[in-house]
Structure 1
Amino acid sequence: MLLQQRYASLLPYPLLALLAWQLDTLPPRLLPAAGALFGVTLWLHFYRHYRHVADTPTTTSRAAAQGYCECFGEAAALDGPPLVTPFGGMRCVWYQAERRPNGRQQQPRHSERLCSDDSFRLLDRRGEVIVQPEGASVEARHQHSWHDGDDVLSERWIAIGDPLYALGELRSLGGQPDRQAFRDDLQLTLNEWKRDPAGLLRRFDRDGDGTLSSEEWEHARQAAHAEVGRNHRALAAIPLGHHLQRPADRRPFIISWRSPQDTARTLRRLAWSHAACALLAALWLARGG
């Protein structure tokens, strides 16, 4: 969900109040109870996001450790053909676009939504991080909407050079693997071979007796050692790159043009706004609707 759309989460409260004022057929406690439950749920949601942003220190690309972290710099495109928004043709590193009918057509049509998942770079003073935006909650700095015949077009995008904040899971790919990685990969390779006993015998049972002697097993270990060594030399030839992506454990994945401090303040305001609305609904409920 886009971060801009989170402000729309406050709209149900005046709607519930309007329904309670106009409808006498509903149970008097139903709407305030729904408002209190909705407010508490959204308070927990946004407060959790706020705490993740506020409690995660900002790191640089060179000092970034593996795992959950946040980075702040500016947006830059990867090498290759430029990315542009689908309707307005604005050059960018990320976009979200929508085409929807304006409601005056005789034949109803569905809306069309487009969102780019192309990776882009976050540049800071020490280097770069590759951001893979799929699954992120994005707040874009630029947005525009206009009429095109019977359609309403809208676009949001992150432009090259925009300030860029990203909170997510950092993984480093490429570079020279360490000794522990070599030992782990060697064991994984041998375990994989053991799951195919027929193939293992076919490759290393030199005397054909249907079993591997200690000498034949040592040959298998040497072959696995050589295979892992070739793979690691190929990895070492790839420049080390840091990739920020959606966490596997459902922690927030946020991309924004705001600074870390502004992002935290925005989420904190949203959290306590919902808490205040939940309190008002609870007081309304306590007074009997």
Structure 2
Amino acid sequence: MLEEQLVGLAFSVAATLGGGWWGLRRLAQARHLLDTPTSKIRSAAQGYAEFYGVLAAQAGTAIAGPLTGKPCLWWRYSIEEYQSDDKTRSWRPIESGSSEAWLLLDDGTGQCLINPRGAEVRPATREVWRGNLRHPRGPQPAGWAGLFSAGKNYRYSEERLHAGQPLYAIGDFRSSGGGRQGLDLATAQSAVIRQWKGDFAGLLQRFDGDGNGQLDEQEWNRVRLAAQLEAEDRHRQQSVQPARHHMAAPQASQPFILSCAGEDELARSFYWQAAAGACLCLGGALATAWLLGVGTF
């Protein structure tokens, strides 16, 4: 009896903590989505940003879903195996994976490359079917063949993003080239000096005027001046290059989301999930209080 009460108490405490954490997390994410203004790629400020646009194909890239073989821009898949015994029956995950190919978002004012690593991706296209092979030989059978899936031991799921689909993206936005980056001269100068120190023999050959194998204070001043001029020249060359925009996972705890659904639909879904987390937390707290009240520990 005591062991059963301890197990029940452990589950109730876990439900309280897990539900509370999930509810607060989803609530904070919904607020981030609603509080972040939608920007245009061409004029967006650097940092955390939100875009609406259309997925575009990139030249020279050919990606296909690993289970269906259908062409796409991004994929995620899972394979489950059906297991049963005298007491339980369930689908057990045995394999999964997702694409790390960069995506190209076009909002009409510019294009932004997106690194999907670490993102919560919500595609509009999802296929689920069953079969008797661990790895299916192509997509789900069409017509009557696809109806008779009972008794098959494997269940497959594949999600994809395709060119031309709308995409909502929120994450860390950075630009390079196009004269958009300011010059932090001290940082750029230090970077040039560190690079030169990697070839110290070459550094001595350029700046060791007296040939004693060392750099004195006057020679180091020449190194610093040359590095400053080099940093300024590199910045000028980079500024005349066409602007390139990138989005990736933010450093802070802000959400990084790529979704075919819009902001309002996402926020509404997050609010419902936050409410479910709050209910789980409340139910777990009530169960914990009841077990502590009636149990004998």
Fold equivalence (TM over 0.5): yes
The number of residue pairs the alignment matches comes to: 262
| Residues 281 and 224 of structure 1, relative CA distance in 2, 3 Å threshold | closer
Q: Which segment is superposed worse, 193-202 or 241-250?
A: 193-202
Q: Aligned equivalents of 2:9 and 2:197: distance in 1?
A: 65
Q: Of the candidates 78, 85, 96, which is equivalent to residue 113 of structure 1?
A: 96
- The match for 2:132 is 149
Q: Of the candidates 164, 167, 170, which is equivalent to residue 167 of structure 2?
A: 164
Q: Aligned equivalents of 2:269 and 2:122: distance in 1?
A: 11
Q: Aligned equivalents of 1:101 and 1:276: distance in 2?
A: 32
- The match for 1:39 is 19
Matched, 1:265 2:271: no
- The match for 2:216 is 212
Q: Aligned equivalents of 2:182 and 2:278: distance in 1?
A: 51
RMSD across aligned positions (CA): 3.0
Alignment of 1:1-289 (within 5 A): 26-27=4-5, 29-103=9-83, 111-151=94-134, 152-176=155-179, 180-190=183-193, 193=196, 200-209=203-212, 210-212=214-216, 214=218, 216-217=219-220, 219-288=222-291
- Does structure 2 conserve the Cα–Cα contact (< 8 Å) formed by 1:201 and 1:212? no
Q: Which amino acid aligns with 1:138?
A: V
- Does structure 1 conserve the Cα–Cα contact (< 8 Å) formed by 2:175 and 2:181? no
Q: TM-score, normalising length from structure 2?
A: 0.76
- Does structure 2 conserve the Cα–Cα contact (< 8 Å) formed by 1:177 and 1:232? no
Q: Aligned equivalents of 2:81 and 2:125: distance in 1?
A: 22
Q: Aligned equivalents of 2:104 and 2:200: distance in 1?
A: 46
Q: Aligned equivalents of 1:207 and 1:24: distance in 2?
A: 85
| Residues 95 and 101 of structure 1, relative CA distance in 2, 3 Å threshold | same
Q: Which segment is superposed worse, 261-270 or 233-242?
A: 233-242
How far off is 1:219 after superposition?
Answer: 4.0
- Does structure 1 conserve the Cα–Cα contact (< 8 Å) formed by 2:55 and 2:166? yes
| Residues 177 and 137 of structure 1, relative CA distance in 2, 3 Å threshold | closer
Q: Aligned equivalents of 1:229 and 1:142: distance in 2?
A: 48
Identity %: 32
Q: Which segment is superposed worse, 259-268 or 90-99?
A: 90-99
Provide structure 2 residue ranges, at least 5 long, that are not aligned to the other structure.
85-91, 135-154
- The match for 1:8 is none
How far off is 1:204 after superposition?
Answer: 0.9
Q: Which amino acid aligns with 2:243?
A: L
| Residues 233 and 63 of structure 1, relative CA distance in 2, 3 Å threshold | closer
Q: Which segment is superposed worse, 179-188 or 90-99?
A: 179-188
How far off is 1:278 after superposition?
Answer: 1.6
- Does structure 1 conserve the Cα–Cα contact (< 8 Å) formed by 2:183 and 2:235? no
- Does structure 2 conserve the Cα–Cα contact (< 8 Å) formed by 1:177 and 1:235? no
- Give CA deviations for 1:75-98 in whole Å, capped at 9, x if unaligned: 222222332212212222211012
How far off is 1:61 after superposition?
Answer: 0.5
Q: TM-score, normalising length from structure 1?
A: 0.77
Structure 1 outlier segments of 4+, above 6 Å = 194-198
- The match for 1:13 is none
Q: Which amino acid aligns with 1:26?
A: E
Q: Which segment is superposed worse, 162-171 or 144-153?
A: 144-153
Q: Aligned equivalents of 1:120 and 1:60: distance in 2?
A: 17
Q: Aligned equivalents of 2:281 and 2:99: distance in 1?
A: 36
